[in-house]
Structure 1
Amino acid sequence: MSARRPELSRRGFLTGSLLVAAGTVFTTACGTDPTGGSSSGAKTTLNVWYHAYGEAGTQQAVLRYATAFTKANPDIAVKVTWVPGDYTAKLNATLLTESAPDVFEIGDFSEALARRGQIAALDDVYGSAKSDFNTNAVESVAVDGKLYGVKMIDDVMMLYYRKSALSKAGITPPATFDDLVAAAKALTTDKNKGLFVGNDGLGDSPSIAAFANGSDLVTPDGKVAFGSAQALEALTGLKRLHDDKSLLLGFTTDWWDPAAFAQGVVPMQWGGLWSMPAVSKALGDDFGVLPWPAFKAGAAPVVRVGGWTSCVNAKGRNVDAAKKFVQWLWVGQSDLQKDFAESYGFHVPPRTSVAASAQKLSAGAAKETVELAAKYGKHYPGTWDTAVSSTFNAAAKITGGQGDPAALLADAVKKAQSEIDKQLGR
């Protein structure tokens, strides 16, 4: 298969599809009927969508996996479609048409897809392997006791800190929110700020702060919970970072890119595990990782766990074959799961046994991150779509001292509940 790569222009591959049938890649797949049948003689053709991963080699990897699957299942061809641009918008639009993919990945899980009958329950796909998936991976795709996706990778988000910078300032890595505020202030100079959480001064911090003070965002039964006293207290607390002018704002890249931290612009940054190879290359072992600290005694620190999940189109013509593909790749093939997680980007395999065998996660800060995720990991609720999260982010103006905090949050709760009720058909 690798011998065929030079025949494809990068532009053509990014914007098109390739058909894998009987272990062979056909470059004419863009005209293949995604609903079944192919020139290879396969009885079924699956259309499998991926968003355009930024990590080099991922495109080739998913084609390699499809090739291995068709060798094991020659009656099922796989059309791999690589989708650049606004993947979520394109997916949501296509799911309403006859051209909807049979298998597709989504970022933070959407409960609405299950409620609308657009994705199939996959409990039978897990089988006995269900207990090997970490708790976060299982809970994040559960709706009314059924599992509607199989987690492909966990993306862990946490605090990076520069060991030498904190040591020089006589600062211990922050263990509480008060410690974090004090450290950010002490590390702020005329030339540099102490902490980077996002160009808008918010990033994930409002939701993470609420979690770190014991508040949910939305309850499992669809009730908005971010109007709690704990959430209000945490959001108001974030204002201290703004008042102290400790936050880096308007950098050339946002929090998801490690440049500000790796280049020494800030000694602390909220970031993702995916950035660790670049951070290690720039700083060696002069960095550590931390959860977002607990807001106060009795609460728990937090790391956020996102990632990507494989789903099956419940309204497609090839549900059984689609389930077979998802089961084969994301449940049965531990070697490919490990390859996908650590050979291109830097992610955590959702299966506990696979994560334990991943060499790059077995030592140092990477191992600490995996342990933090297992102990303190929180995922966004399945109802946390753009409409709901936007209302909460609007209330986060509290952190900048704009408006009455309680009134802002109460208004956000009302609007968010309306959106969730629409999702749930209430």
Structure 2
Amino acid sequence: MSIRTSELSRRGFLTGSLLVAAGTVLTTACSTDPTSGSSSGTGTTLNVWYHAYGEAGTQQAVLRYAKAFTRANPDIAVKVTWVPGDYAGKLNATLLTDAAPDVFETGDFSERFARGGQIAALDDVYGNARSDFNTNALDSVTVEGKPYGVKMIDDVIMLYYRKSVLSKAGITPPATFDALAAAAKELTTKKNKGLFVGNDGIGDSPSNAVWSNGGDLVTPDGKVAFGSDRALEAITALKRLHDDKSLLLGFTTDWWDPSAFAQGVVPMQWCGLWAMPAVQSALGDDFGVLPWPAFKSGGTPVVRVGGWTGCVNAKGRNVAAAKKFVQWLWIQQSDLQKDFAESYGLHVPPRKSAAATAKKLSTGPAKETVELAAKYGKSNPGTWDTAVSSVFSAAAAKIVGGQGDPAALLAVAVKKAQGEIDKQLGR
């Protein structure tokens, strides 16, 4: 994967934008050859949506998988629809129409799809394989005891650091937030900044801060939790990074692209495992990986786990065939799961058996990243939709920018976020 190719993919994956694009969905599409092998004499054609992955070869791979499925199931053709741009917005708009896909992928899983009856429960699809999925991957798609998606890949996000730069400065890889802030300040020069978390200076840092101090964003029963004293303490502390002017802002690409780190613009960057092949190509073994550090002694380091999940449109015309496709591809074909995870960028298969035999994850920083995710991995709650996350991020931005009383800003955000969650849950 080239350094720049991940930009579009990761923007769609993690910004959480749900702005509905005007006009029609711009796509490229290719279908496997339908046959008339069904008992009714007419074949079924599934429309399967993917966002436009930035990693080279991904589109060709999913077309290849579709053809293999149709060879195994001659009465079911698969039309692969490749959706560039604002995937989330286009998906949400299309799901309200008769043109909605039969199968689609979604980034951070949202409970509202399940609670609104938009996606089908897939407990029958998992069968005995359910226990082979890692806990995070299964829990993140489960609503009231039933799984409503199959995790396709886990994307792990952590801190990259330059070993030689920190060593030359006599800096130990930071294990607490104070140490991270001190290191970022020490490594900031007239030409370079010490840390890159996003062009807005925020990125994932507010949620990381909450988790790293033993707090939570939303409780399992849908109560907003980011207004706690622990959360307030940790979010307020992020202001230090801004006051020290140690954050890289307004770079040519954002945090999900490793260019700033690989080009030596910063010695520390929050980025994903998907970028590791590009980082290794640029830097060799002169880098290491870390979790976002514990806020203080007694806190918890954080590794963010996102990824993509396959879902079945419960309102589609071909639910049974759609379930069969999802089951074949993401439950039964472990070799294809490893191919999808390892051959186009670098990701973690959610299936424990597949991850255990993935060669590119078995050594070095990649293996360390997988171990960090298993130990410290955190995923956004299923209620963490755009409306909720935007309220939280806006309050955090004001707090770190010194634009009001932190406690008051957070209290207002809690009230607004709780209202949005109550709407989701029908309360």
| TM-score above 0.5 | yes
Comparing 148-157 with 239-248, greater Cα deviation is found at 239-248
User: Do 2:239 and 2:400's aligned partners in 1 also have CA atoms closer than 8 Å?
Assistant: yes
- The residue number in structure 2 matching 1:257 is 257
Partner SS for 2:238: helix
1:182-201 Cα distance to aligned partner (Å, 9 max, x none) = 11111111221111111111
Q: What amino acid maps onto 1:313 in structure 2?
A: N
Partner SS for 1:21: coil
C-alpha separation between the residues in 2 aligned to 1:21 and 1:229? 59
Partner SS for 2:366: helix
- The residue number in structure 2 matching 1:122 is 122
- The residue number in structure 2 matching 1:156 is 156
Equivalence map 1:141-152=2 (5 Å): 141-152=141-152
Partner SS for 1:310: strand
C-alpha separation between the residues in 2 aligned to 1:16 and 1:236? 45
Q: What amino acid maps onto 1:45 in structure 2?
A: T
Shift of 1:425: 1.5
User: Do 2:153 and 2:341's aligned partners in 1 also have CA atoms closer than 8 Å?
Assistant: yes
Shift of 1:287: 0.2
- The residue number in structure 2 matching 1:344 is 344
User: Do 1:165 and 1:267's aligned partners in 2 also have CA atoms closer than 8 Å?
Assistant: yes
User: Do 1:153 and 1:347's aligned partners in 2 also have CA atoms closer than 8 Å?
Assistant: yes
Q: What amino acid maps onto 1:307 in structure 2?
A: G
User: Do 1:21 and 1:42's aligned partners in 2 also have CA atoms closer than 8 Å?
Assistant: no
C-alpha separation between the residues in 2 aligned to 1:68 and 1:42? 20
C-alpha separation between the residues in 2 aligned to 1:353 and 1:414? 43
- The residue number in structure 2 matching 1:8 is none
Matched, 1:410 2:411: yes
C-alpha separation between the residues in 2 aligned to 1:16 and 1:163? 42
1:13-63 Cα distance to aligned partner (Å, 9 max, x none) = x8232211369xxxxxxxxxxxx999xx65321111111111111111111
1:255-297 Cα distance to aligned partner (Å, 9 max, x none) = 1111111111111010011111111111100000000001012
Q: What amino acid maps onto 2:70 in structure 1?
A: T
1:84-139 Cα distance to aligned partner (Å, 9 max, x none) = 12111111111111111111000000100000000001111111111111111001
Q: What amino acid maps onto 1:424 in structure 2?
A: L
Q: What amino acid maps onto 1:71 in structure 2?
A: R
- The residue number in structure 2 matching 1:104 is 104
Partner SS for 2:32: strand
Which residues of structure 2 form unaligned runs of 5+? 1-25
C-alpha separation between the residues in 1 aligned to 2:45 and 2:251? 46
Q: What amino acid maps onto 1:52 in structure 2?
A: A
Shift of 1:422: 1.2
- The residue number in structure 2 matching 1:58 is 58
- The residue number in structure 1 matching 2:402 is 401
Q: What amino acid maps onto 2:71 in structure 1?
A: K
Matched, 1:294 2:294: yes
- The residue number in structure 2 matching 1:131 is 131
C-alpha separation between the residues in 2 aligned to 1:247 and 1:300? 23
Give the superposed CA RMSD: 1.6
1:308-367 Cα distance to aligned partner (Å, 9 max, x none) = 000001111211111111010001000000001111121111111111111111111011
C-alpha separation between the residues in 2 aligned to 1:37 and 1:331? 24
Equivalence map 1:189-268=2 (5 Å): 189-268=189-268
C-alpha separation between the residues in 2 aligned to 1:117 and 1:179? 47
C-alpha separation between the residues in 2 aligned to 1:16 and 1:395? 39
TM normalised by structure 2 equals 0.91
User: Do 1:149 and 1:310's aligned partners in 2 also have CA atoms closer than 8 Å?
Assistant: yes
- The residue number in structure 2 matching 1:285 is 285
C-alpha separation between the residues in 1 aligned to 2:37 and 2:249? 53
User: Do 2:193 and 2:266's aligned partners in 1 also have CA atoms closer than 8 Å?
Assistant: yes
C-alpha separation between the residues in 1 aligned to 2:85 and 2:247? 30
C-alpha separation between the residues in 2 aligned to 1:99 and 1:245? 49
**Distance of aligned partners of 1:341 and 1:42 in 2 relative to their CA distance in 1, 3 Å threshold:** farther
Matched, 1:17 2:29: yes
C-alpha separation between the residues in 1 aligned to 2:312 and 2:154? 19
TM normalised by structure 1 equals 0.91
C-alpha separation between the residues in 1 aligned to 2:356 and 2:108? 24
- The residue number in structure 1 matching 2:9 is none
C-alpha separation between the residues in 1 aligned to 2:393 and 2:300? 22
The percent identity for this pair of structures is: 82
- The residue number in structure 1 matching 2:23 is none
1:388-426 Cα distance to aligned partner (Å, 9 max, x none) = 101001111211222000000000011111111111121
C-alpha separation between the residues in 2 aligned to 1:193 and 1:82? 37
1:193-224 Cα distance to aligned partner (Å, 9 max, x none) = 11111111111100111111111111111111
Partner SS for 1:282: helix
User: Do 2:34 and 2:44's aligned partners in 1 also have CA atoms closer than 8 Å?
Assistant: no
User: Do 2:34 and 2:43's aligned partners in 1 also have CA atoms closer than 8 Å?
Assistant: no
C-alpha separation between the residues in 2 aligned to 1:253 and 1:231? 29
C-alpha separation between the residues in 2 aligned to 1:244 and 1:227? 25
Shift of 1:238: 0.8
User: Do 1:141 and 1:149's aligned partners in 2 also have CA atoms closer than 8 Å?
Assistant: yes
Q: What amino acid maps onto 2:254 in structure 1?
A: D
